[in-house]
Amino acid sequence: MRHTIAQVLPHRDPALVFKDLNEVSMLQEFWEGKQQQRAAFPSEGLVVYESLPSPGPPFVSYVALPGGSCFGNFQCCLSRAEARQDAAKVALINSLLNELPSRRITKEFIMESVQEAVASTSGTLDDADDPSTSVGAYHYMLESNMGKTMLGFQELMTIFQLLHWNGSLKALRETKCSRQEVISYYSQYSLDEKMHSHMALDWIMKEQETPGILSQELRMALRELEEARKAGQELRFYKEKKEILSLALTQIYSNPDTSSPSDDQLSLTALCGYH
C-alpha cells in the first residue's frame, strides 16, 4: 500500500497518509494523479458520487470511479456526509489494491482463472482452447485483455453479465453468432444511455409477455444491490440492473399504451439489441 501511494502520490508521506484520512479528497487526488500519468482511463471523467434520497438515516451513498466501477458505503451511516466518506473509503481501498501487480491480468493469472473456471463447470482444460465453450470464451476474453487491471477488465465483464441476464446472449447464439464474434463486437461498446434504452425495451417486451416480471426482477435487483453493498463488493452489475429495470417501468407508466410495441420498436431491438 505504501509503495503504491509513493508511486501515485509522490508528494505524500506514505507513513502518514492514513492518519486523519479524508477519504473523499484522497480518492479524488488518487484518480487525478492516475489521469495525469495517463495510466488508466484517460478519456473518462473523474470520481462521481450519488446519494440516495432519504428522509432520515440510515443514508446510502455510491461512488463511481473512472472506467465505471462502483462502490457504496457498507456501514450504517447516520448522515449523508458519513455515507459519502464510507463509500469513498471502500473505493479508495479497492483503487489502491488495483495497483498491485497481482491485480493485473498476466499469463499466470489467466492459467489460474481458467483452471478455476474448469473446476466450477465440470469441464476439461481442452475446453479453454475451444471458443464455442463458456470456458473457452472466458479464456478468450482474458487473453484479449492481457495487461489490464481488474478494475479495467470489470466494465467489459459487466456488459456480458448484463447481456446474459437480459437474454441477449441466448438470442445471439440462436442466430449462430460465435462467442468470439459476440465478444469482439461488444468489446467495442461501453455501458451508456443507448445500451440502457435497448435493454429497457427488451424488458418492456418481457413484461408484455409475462405481466409482473419487471416488478419481480426489480425487487430482486434491489435486494442483491443492498446485500452486495453491505458486503463491500463492487456494485456496477447490480446497479445497472436496477437502473435498466427502473427505466423500463418508468417508460411503461409514462406510456400506458404499451400492450403492442410498434414495428419501429421491434426493429430497434432487433438491430441494436441483437445487432
Domain boundary among 81, 99, 117: 99
Residue with grid cell 450519488, as numbered in its chain:
50
Least confident of 12-21, 45-54, 69-78, 95-104: 12-21
Do 176 and 195 have their domain in common?
Answer: no
Query: What pLDDT score does 14 carry?
Result: 60
- Domain closes at, from 61, 83, 99: 99
What would the pLDDT profile of 95-106 be if each residue is shown by its tens digit? Answer: 988 888 888 899
In a domain, 265, yes or no: no
Query: Is residue 248 a part of any domain in this protein?
Result: yes
pLDDT of residue 271: 32
Give pLDDT, residue 20: 60
Task: Give the full edge-to-edge strand order of the sheet including 61-64.
Answer: 48-51, 61-64, 70-72
What is the model's pTM? 0.78
Let me know if residue 140 belongs to a domain.
yes
pLDDT in tens, 101-145: 888 899 999 898 888 888 887 777 887 887 777 788 888 888 888
The reply to whether 226 falls in a domain is yes
Together in a domain, 79 and 119 = no
- Work out the average pLDDT over 6-33: 74
Residue 263 lies in a domain: no
Nearest CA to 257 out of 208, 192, 221 is that of 208
State which residues form the domain around 158. 104-189
Task: Please report whether residue 267 resides in a domain.
Answer: no
pLDDT digits (tens, 9 = 90+) for 187-219: 777 778 888 899 999 999 999 999 999 999 999
d(CA 121, CA 135): 8
- Average pLDDT on 30-41 reads 71
Residues 6+ apart with CB under 8 A from 227: none
Number of domain units in the chain: 3
Tell which residue, 92, 73, 71, 86, has the closest CA to residue 29. Answer: 92
Split at pLDDT 50, 70, 90, the class of 274 is very low
The domain boundary residue, chosen from 82, 99, 116: 99
Same domain, yes or no: 197 and 132: no
